[in-house]
Amino acid sequence: MHLSGQKPFLHEIGCDLHVHVLPGIDDGSPDLMESMQILEAHYEAGIRRVIATPHIRSDFFQNTRQTIYDAWALLHEQALQRWPDLRLTYAAEHFADDYLLQLIESDKLLPLFDRYVLIETSMRVEQPYFMEIVERLIEKNWKPVLAHPERYRPWHQKPDRYAQLREMQVIFQVNLLSLGGMYGAPEQRMAEQLIQKGWIGAVGTDLHRVSQFKYLRKAAQNPAYGRLCSVSLLNHQLLKHEARN
């Protein structure tokens, strides 16, 4: 709920381009009911554009274009009936592993839009070949969007890693859940620091359950969120791109 004349608290970002809302195919929403509840929470918060981004990871979530499409089609049919003005599409959060290299070489990635592709790496250990994968994406004319850079604790003591990726034109996508403190103080601090530096180029919720929505409300009260909403984001670029086409 929001007061009359007051915009819903996520209205400024306009689009959630990282959310695990598709039912039953990764560690996100387990079923259609939960998925609909997540979309309802988005709608009430002012979001009218959602890109579902299930994991593609060879060791845990062996999703394919077909498994993702099937889950999307099931949810999309119900969502369209409930919210005709809510646009739901699908992409993927690609884990940087050997399978991702195969997808790059076979040109079977699932981009957010245009050539923007969402990627992630290990949050526990630094993968020595991660930079090589990023370089290969760029060589193939993809535009890497790095999911939640603030969550990679091995990098917290290596600011040069962030700077190196920035120099390579990698777009950093911050999780609003991080700003809301869901993962802990180190992740929240790093998110705030990256925003303060002006290094964040995209925003996503990374929501897996509707119960996590309370952290998004906390994020919206963080002063860093206000700074984030005052800059041009990939979220806004997507909306402008779609308005023209």
Residues 240 and 171: their CA atoms lie apart, in Å, by 18
> Which pLDDT belongs to residue 5?
54
3-state SS, residue 129: coil
> Which pLDDT belongs to residue 59?
87
> Which pLDDT belongs to residue 2?
47
What pTM did the predictor assign?
A: 0.96
> Which pLDDT belongs to residue 61?
86
Per-residue pLDDT averaged across 146-156, rounded? 97
3-state SS, residue 142: coil
Per-residue pLDDT averaged across 7-11, rounded? 91
**Model confidence pLDDT, tens digit, residues 137-149:** 999 999 999 999 9
**Model confidence pLDDT, tens digit, residues 93-132:** 999 999 999 999 999 999 999 999 999 999 999 888 999 9
Per-residue pLDDT averaged across 175-187, rounded? 98
| Residue 245 predicted with pLDDT over 90 | no
User: Which residues 6+ apart lie within 8 Å of 72 measured at CB?
Assistant: 22, 52, 88, 89, 90
Domains of the chain: 15-244 (3.20.20.140)
Edge to edge, the sheet with strand 87-90 lists: 15-19, 49-52, 87-90
> Which pLDDT belongs to residue 1?
43
> Which pLDDT belongs to residue 56?
98
> Which pLDDT belongs to residue 128?
85
What residues does 144 pair with on adjacent strands?
A: 117
For all residues of the chain together, what is the average pLDDT?
96
User: Which residues 6+ apart lie within 8 Å of 153 measured at CB?
Assistant: 123, 124, 186, 187
Closest Cα partner for 175 from 137, 228, 114, 243? 228
> Which pLDDT belongs to residue 132?
97
**Model confidence pLDDT, tens digit, residues 202-232:** 999 999 999 999 999 999 999 999 999 999 9
Alpha helices in 155-229 (DSSP H): 159-167, 176-179, 185-197, 213-220, 223-229
Which tokens belong to 28? 């996100």
Q: Where residue 3 falls among pLDDT bands split at 50, 70, 90?
A: very low
The one-character DSSP state at 123 is: S
More confident position, 177 or 7: 177
Q: Where residue 60 falls among pLDDT bands split at 50, 70, 90?
A: confident
Q: Where residue 4 falls among pLDDT bands split at 50, 70, 90?
A: very low
Is-contact 235 48, C-beta < 8 A? no
